[in-house]
């Protein structure tokens, strides 16, 4: 038996901290392993540093941290061959420094409650979340320092004695208690190590295998890396994801330290958008994938890794938002992303256009949520028209300015959300020499509003918001149609009778012969209101009374209806014209569609 060198009490100010550490938060118990393994890694790195400056002249050997599970003996052991500790150091670091860390935690826990949980590196004493008794056996790199054993059974008493350890380094032996039983499982340990230790800078071994990649790409200089390396790393992080569109390597040391790689993923649906896939590391130790307050909101769509020792982890969320480093990091990332996009745009516009389908989503999201980004992105944000051509905002403005300016000097941008459903309207607009954009993305409704807010005299109108004639109101748009006042009243009444609805909004307009005899439009404002309420989860269908019916006073079909003497046939013809209008809107379904088909056949037969 070794001689007991010292017994003592860990100094506790008010109450025993162990019960508090133990009850910490159930879900976070696993971090004990992160803490112990990273202490081992730190110890190895310290030794390497000492060797590099000549303060340690012995054999460094292969530095590593090893985790051993002894299921039978109910023990988890974390060993390293790093610097180790002398007796004095054990007293200083374990009894005082580590303890004061734990005491500080307890203090904050009492102040902030669950807010700080999971954000606080509890350090060495987190071992007591899972262990009833902890032993630490250590031998310093200093040649003449004897090995020391420290032990503590989860109360304020500790013991220090001489130990028999021959090799340099530290071994922490956890005697797992009831609370920690779930960790006496190989797969659980494996899982925790893969989560937290995957990219630690010193080899970490468990169950005969090395868990980690000590040199992940974000710590390497970008000029040493090929596209393939970035793609492989992406696969390593997200084995089931499709290849990303491109990536940005972050690398800054002043005024804060930040490295990382952010990927622009292929996003195909709204579900993909909700997944946050940025992992935060601090010196290669995984911290969290909850990066909401660190990364600008719109960049939450990106995937990848950020590593910064300058992000405070042991504080509450509201504090994080006001932290000046976090704010600077935010701005830096935004700037970097904008610059990278700009560079891609200038270097190879064609490739940029080809990727726009996927990229546009990020750019638009950024423009919607971040003013600074809007300013920059305005220069490379693309608009695609229904013929598949791409324009920057300025290019598009110059393209349509002359033809699509209305009588108030506002440039009216026409757009479709569905080239099939709105085909008739797109054609009608094109015939008038107008250009039509395709804005069919999930964010486009918001994007349109943003552009209107930011750009002077720029208004968006969906092609079916009005008759083609009225979409862009010109000075001379008071063209008269072929019907007399009486005929106009007659035809309106007839249509209301036919459809059996008094409340319908019907008007006669001078459309061209190219247009349908009856056109149905949904004013832009009303439609947008509906869309917004739908986006917020309320599903209001377009009520029929919102649609406006426009009778084309110049169409021969309408003349024919008026000339027809048989009232039933007049109604039948008018019904047919109305159904054609619904059909061109993609709204004719069910029974009315069936009747329309029957009627079409009978008209042919007659």
Ligand X SMILES: Nc1ncnc2c1ncn2[C@@H]1O[C@H](COP(=O)(O)OP(=O)(O)OP(=O)(O)O)[C@@H](O)[C@H]1O
Contacting positions for ligand X (CB under 6 A): 35, 39-40, 43, 80, 82-83, 85, 93-94, 97-98, 101, 121, 123-124, 170
Q: Is 39 annotated as a binding residue?
A: yes
Smallest separation, CB 27 to ligand X (Å) = 19
Q: What stretches of 296-435 show up as alpha helix (H) in DSSP?
A: 317-322, 324-347, 349-369, 371-377, 393-400, 423-431
Looking at residue 382, the DSSP 8-state letter turns out to be E
Longest dimension (CA), the chain: 121
CA distances from 454 to 170, 297, 413, 457 (A): 61, 20, 14, 10
The two structure tokens encoding residue 359 = 């990229």
Q: DSSP letters of 503-554?
A: T-EEEEE---TTS-SEEEE--HHHHHHHHHHHHTT--PPPPGGGSEEEEETT
Residue 56 or 230: the one with the smaller Cβ distance to ligand X is 56
Q: Is 129 annotated as a binding residue?
A: no
Q: Is 101 annotated as a binding residue?
A: yes
Looking at residue 245, the DSSP 8-state letter turns out to be S
Residue 311 or 511: the one with the smaller Cβ distance to ligand X is 311
Smallest separation, CB 188 to ligand X (Å) = 22
Q: List the one residue out of 479, 487, 497, 474 whose CA is nearest residue 558.
A: 487
Q: How far apart (Å, rounded) are the C-alpha atoms in residues 527 and 505?
A: 16
CB atoms within 10 A of CB 514: 13
Assign 3-class secondary structure to 62-91: CCCEEEEEECCCCEEEEEECCCCCCHHHHH
Smallest separation, CB 46 to ligand X (Å) = 7
Smallest separation, CB 97 to ligand X (Å) = 5
Q: What is the side-by-side strand order in the sheet with 277-282?
A: 246-252, 258-264, 303-307, 277-282, 285-288
Q: How far apart (Å, rounded) are the C-alpha atoms in residues 347 and 486?
A: 64
Say which residues have a Cβ less than 8 Å from residue 439's Cβ, sequence separation at least 6: 415, 416, 417, 447, 448, 460
Residue 98 or 393: the one with the smaller Cβ distance to ligand X is 98
Whether the CB-CB separation of 148 and 160 falls below 8 Å is answered with: yes
Q: How far apart (Å, rounded) are the C-alpha atoms in residues 401 and 212?
A: 59
Residue 95 or 259: the one with the smaller Cβ distance to ligand X is 95
Smallest separation, CB 317 to ligand X (Å) = 20
Smallest separation, CB 296 to ligand X (Å) = 27
Q: List the one residue out of 163, 141, 132 whose CA is nearest residue 150.
A: 163
Smallest separation, CB 314 to ligand X (Å) = 8
Smallest separation, CB 102 to ligand X (Å) = 7
Q: Is 367 annotated as a binding residue?
A: no
Q: Is 444 annotated as a binding residue?
A: no
Q: How far apart (Å, rounded) are the C-alpha atoms in residues 1 and 383?
A: 80
The two structure tokens encoding residue 592 = 């009315």
* Residue with nearest beta carbon to ligand X: 123
Smallest separation, CB 170 to ligand X (Å) = 4
Residue 171 or 444: the one with the smaller Cβ distance to ligand X is 171
Q: Is 584 annotated as a binding residue?
A: no
Q: What stretches of 157-286 show up as alpha helix (H) in DSSP?
A: 186-196, 227-237, 270-274
Residue 37 or 445: the one with the smaller Cβ distance to ligand X is 37
Residue 76 or 491: the one with the smaller Cβ distance to ligand X is 76
Smallest separation, CB 82 to ligand X (Å) = 5
Residue 39 or 330: the one with the smaller Cβ distance to ligand X is 39
Residue 323 or 406: the one with the smaller Cβ distance to ligand X is 323
Residue 550's DSSP bridge partners are 507, 519
Smallest separation, CB 281 to ligand X (Å) = 14
CB atoms within 10 A of CB 226: 8
Q: How far apart (Å, rounded) are the C-alpha atoms in residues 44 and 276?
A: 33
For 482, phi then psi, to 5°, come to -85, -5
Residue 82 or 180: the one with the smaller Cβ distance to ligand X is 82
Q: How far apart (Å, rounded) are the C-alpha atoms in residues 206 and 548?
A: 71
- Annotated binding site, which residues? 35, 39, 80, 85, 100-101, 170, 317
- Annotated binding site for ATP, which residues? 35, 39, 80, 85, 100-101, 170, 317
């Amino acid at each position: 038996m070794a001689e007991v060198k010292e017994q003592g009490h860990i100094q506790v100010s008010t109450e025993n901290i162990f019960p508090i550490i133990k009850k910490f938060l159930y879900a976070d118990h696993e971090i004990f392993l992160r803490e112990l393994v990273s202490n081992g890694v730190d110890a190895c790195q310290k030794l390497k540093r000492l060797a590099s400056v000549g303060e340690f002249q012995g054999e460094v050997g292969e530095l590593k941290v090893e985790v051993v599970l002894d299921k039978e003996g109910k023990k988890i052991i974390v060993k390293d061959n790093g610097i180790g500790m002398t007796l004095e150091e054990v007293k200083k670091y374990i009894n005082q420094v580590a303890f004061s860390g734990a005491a500080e935690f307890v203090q904050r826990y009492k102040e902030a409650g669950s807010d700080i949980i999971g954000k606080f590196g509890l350090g060495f004493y987190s071992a007591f979340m899972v262990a009833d008794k902890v032993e630490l056996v250590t031998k310093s790199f200093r040649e003449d320092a004897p090995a020391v054993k420290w032990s503590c059974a989860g109360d304020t008493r500790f013991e220090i004695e001489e130990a028999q350890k021959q090799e340099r380094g530290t071994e922490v032996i956890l005697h797992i208690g009831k609370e920690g039983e779930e960790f006496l499982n190989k797969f659980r340990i494996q899982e925790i190590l893969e989560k937290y230790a995957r990219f630690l800078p010193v080899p970490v071994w468990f169950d005969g295998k090395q868990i980690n990649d000590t040199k992940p790409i974000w710590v390497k200089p970008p000029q040493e890396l090929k596209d393939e390396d970035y793609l492989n790393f992406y696969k390593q992080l997200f084995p089931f994801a499709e290849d990303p569109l491109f990536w940005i390597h972050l690398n800054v040391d002043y005024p804060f330290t930040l490295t990382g790689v952010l990927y622009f993923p292929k996003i195909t649906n709204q579900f993909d958008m909700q997944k946050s896939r940025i992992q935060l590391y601090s010196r290669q130790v995984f911290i969290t994938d909850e990066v909401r307050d660190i990364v600008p909101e719109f960049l939450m769509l990106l995937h990848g890794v950020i590593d910064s020792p300058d992000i405070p982890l042991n504080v509450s969320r509201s504090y994080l938002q006001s932290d000046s480093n976090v704010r600077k990091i935010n701005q830096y990332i935004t700037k970097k992303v904008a610059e990278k996009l700009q560079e891609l745009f200038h270097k190879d516009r064609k490739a940029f256009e080809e990727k726009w389908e996927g990229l546009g989503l990020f750019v638009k999201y950024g423009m919607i949520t971040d003013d600074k980004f809007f300013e920059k992105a305005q220069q490379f944000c693309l608009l695609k028209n229904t013929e598949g051509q791409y324009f920057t905002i300025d290019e598009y403005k110059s393209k349509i300015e002359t033809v699509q300016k209305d009588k108030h000097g506002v440039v009216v941008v026409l757009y479709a959300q569905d080239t099939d459903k709105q085909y008739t309207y797109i054609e009608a607009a094109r015939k008038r020499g107008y250009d039509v954009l395709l804005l069919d993305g999930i964010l486009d409704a918001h994007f349109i509003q943003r552009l209107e807010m930011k750009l002077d005299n720029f208004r968006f109108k969906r092609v079916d918001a009005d008759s083609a004639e009225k979409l862009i109101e010109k000075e001379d748009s008071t063209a008269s149609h072929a019907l007399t006042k009486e005929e106009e009243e007659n035809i309106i009444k007839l249509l209301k009778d036919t459809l059996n609805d008094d409340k319908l909004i019907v008007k006669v307009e001078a459309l061209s012969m190219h247009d349908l005899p009856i056109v149905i439009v949904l004013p832009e404002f009303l439609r947008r209101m509906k869309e917004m309420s739908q986006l917020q989860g309320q599903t209001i269908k377009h009520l029929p009374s919102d649609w406006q019916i426009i009778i084309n006073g110049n169409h021969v079909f309408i003349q024919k209806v008026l000339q027809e003497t048989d009232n039933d046939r007049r109604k039948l013809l008018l019904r047919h014209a109305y159904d054609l209008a619904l059909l061109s809107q993609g709204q004719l379904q069910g029974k009315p569609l069936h009747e329309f088909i029957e009627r079409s056949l009978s008209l042919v037969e007659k």
